[in-house]
Amino acid sequence: MPLPFRENTAFQRGLKWLFILTNSIALFLNFVDVGYYPFSGKRSGVELLGMQRDAADQSIQYIKDYCYLALLLIGCIWLMISYYPPYKQSKPRAKTPLLIELFILVLVAGMMFGAARGTVGLKPLNTLDAARLTQSGLAALTLNTPFQFIMTVQQTGVDEKFYMDKKDAAALINFHHHDSAIKPTHKNVVLIIVESLGKEYVGFYNNGKGYTPFLDSLALYSTIYKNAYANGKRSIEGIPAIVASMPSLMNNDYMNSYYQSNTLESTGSLLQHLGYETSFYHGGKNGTMSFDNFISATHAGKYYGLNEYPNPTDNDGNWGIYDEPYLRYVANQLTEQEQPFFSTVFTLSSHHPYNIPTALKQQFQEGTLPIHKTIRYVDFALQQFFEEAKQTTWYDSTIFIITADHSSTNELPNFNTEEGMYRIPLMVFEPKNHALRYIDQTTQQIDIMPIILKQAGYNKPYLAMGLSSVDSGGFAIQYINNMYQFIQHPYILQFDGEKTIQFTKLNKKDVLENCTELDRKKLMEQSLKAFIQQYNSALIHNNTVVKP
């Protein structure tokens, strides 16, 4: 730099600490993702800032569990400081002409600018290039978290897409629902969302190998959705998808996105039109991940959180109330509600750090992963809930729907692929209907709202991005590492917004193989484009409810 103070000791010291500070922040973000990636399945972006309150609440626990990462981070920063070359003022030398120094400055700045852009082309490198330049499963490894952060900070929303005519898009994927032929059933509905209940943990889906003996027994008398998928990898993505049929198909989750103030209906708000009393129960701290705000904004029902729970001694010391006492409390609360009612219950004990009440720790065996023992406890808690519910007057006239907000860490290879990590259980149990029934077609979380509305006999127009019936062929959609994933089991298509990156099929051994069925690929790509086009348009123009 042609600056007279460039060799000033104070200036050089400032450059040193600027270098250390910026690189320390970058290292910190990367180390955060080392611990968080097994749960999120993607590189973290600016959406992490929306979770800072919950992260602060759990900071002590995170430091305990990931102290090795904290030590490695401190070690890396120490190495930077220790091996940063000490500044030594050079001996006086002949001055370089100003024009030459300016030329060198422009040349070096241009080279650095080109290196930062990653290309000399018109468009700089983007996170999408990682998916294009490597296998889709290695895209997250190709990226780094500071780069992902920078790219997501720059994004304000989704882009309007014009893949096809609006009528053609609606013919392929229709968000508008109106089944005027059905009649209200006036049945109660209880939706149970189990924290981190991956399909791998449920023995019924895995030839008896699992950690959920009670759920396995309940499944024998239920409608089983064999190929159900989550729309995201985090609770903050799963709750809007389940409660309001709203997936987060962008780098930010919907609840913290540019569109969080859009008008949005929910299962609860719609069932209120049929005279239902609606509620949402979660034993976590009020305000965690803004769930209470979302329930209020979508008029989903009265919110019951930690503040409303009567016995604070049941607190696990981290997230909130242990599942077993909380589910007993919910069963008693539902007895006080007027029928018909619709109530959602979101558990929490199977969230890291997987706490179990001290008195019950010896009751459950360890598994091969830390979460397995807690899943056994949660299964036990669900059993106690149903035992309580059986004693009530509302039990026989209630539909129970059990699913997960997302999956968690898995150990089997087929559950660790970009398709497998979204697999979740979905079952519907009715006490007066004990027939075991299988639904083979692909189902996703955003289908749960229309499925419930159909079960309740909702016959008014409404808008939902899922399907009320998958008998004609369903699908599941996710957005991960800047790439769309479209599943119609056993086919999986990955799409970067312009073209298909990968098209695979699960073989009979549940292993992914490249697929060459071009007609199927074309049809799936068109369906995905139709969904993206209408989804983006609905968000941009706030067309997320039926207009009068």
Q: Which 3-state string (H, E, C) describes 311-378?
A: CHHHECCCCEECHHHHHHHHHHHHHCCCCCEEEEEECCCCCCCCCCCHHHHHHCCCCCCHHHHHHHHH
For residues 303 and 28, the model is more confident at: 303
- What average pLDDT does this structure show over 502-519? 96
Beta bridge partners of 443: 228
Where exactly are the structural domains of the chain? 9-93+124-153, 168-436+443-540
Residue 2: the pLDDT is: 56
Flag whether pLDDT at 517 surpasses 90.
yes
* Residue pLDDT, tens place only, 139-168: 677 777 777 777 666 556 789 999 999 999
For residues 288 and 122, the model is more confident at: 288
Residue 54: the pLDDT is: 57
Q: How far apart are CA 306 and CA 309, in angstroms?
A: 5
Residue 40: the pLDDT is: 56
Reduce the DSSP state of residue 483 to 3 states and report it. Answer: strand
Residue 121: the pLDDT is: 60
Residue with tokens 């920063």: 77
Residue 41: the pLDDT is: 59
For residues 440 and 62, the model is more confident at: 440
Residue 90: the pLDDT is: 63
Residue with tokens 């312009």: 498
Residue 128: the pLDDT is: 47
- What average pLDDT does this structure show over 503-523? 96
Mean residue pLDDT of the chain comes to 89
Flag whether pLDDT at 377 surpasses 50.
yes
* Residue pLDDT, tens place only, 168-207: 999 999 999 999 999 999 999 999 999 999 999 999 999 9
For residues 533 and 1, the model is more confident at: 533
- What average pLDDT does this structure show over 485-502? 97
- What average pLDDT does this structure show over 338-364? 96
Helix axes 9-40, 145-153, angle to 10 degrees: 90
SS3 content of the chain, % helix, strand, coil (to 5): 45, 15, 40
Q: How far apart are CA 536 and CA 174, in angstroms?
A: 14
In the chain, what percentage of residues exceed pLDDT 70?
87
- What average pLDDT does this structure show over 73-102? 78
Residue 28: the pLDDT is: 87
DSSP string for residues in 253-269: -GGGSTTTTS----HHH
Q: Is the distance from CB of 281 to CB of 500 less than 8 angstroms?
A: no
Lowest-confidence segment of 89-93, 473-477, 505-509 by average pLDDT: 89-93
168-436+443-540: CATH topology: Alkaline Phosphatase, subunit A (3.40.720)
DSSP string for residues in 176-241: EE--TT------EEEEEEETT--GGG-GGGTTT-SS-HHHHHHHTTEEEEEEEE-S-SSHHHHHHH
Flag whether pLDDT at 526 surpasses 70.
yes
The listed range with the strongest mean pLDDT (39-53, 116-130, 415-429) is 415-429
Flag whether pLDDT at 62 surpasses 70.
no
Residue 6: the pLDDT is: 65
Residue 139: the pLDDT is: 66
For residues 2 and 110, the model is more confident at: 110
Q: Which 3-state string (H, E, C) describes 526-537?
A: HHHHHHHHHHHH
Q: Is the distance from CB of 542 to CB of 263 less than 8 angstroms?
A: yes
Residue type, 445: Q
Flag whether pLDDT at 36 surpasses 80.
no
* Residue pLDDT, tens place only, 210-253: 999 999 999 999 999 999 999 999 999 999 999 999 999 998 88
Residue type, 183: K
User: Where does the pLDDT of residue 473 fall: very low under 50, low under 70, confident under 90, or very high at 90 and above?
Assistant: confident
In the chain, what percentage of residues exceed pLDDT 90?
65
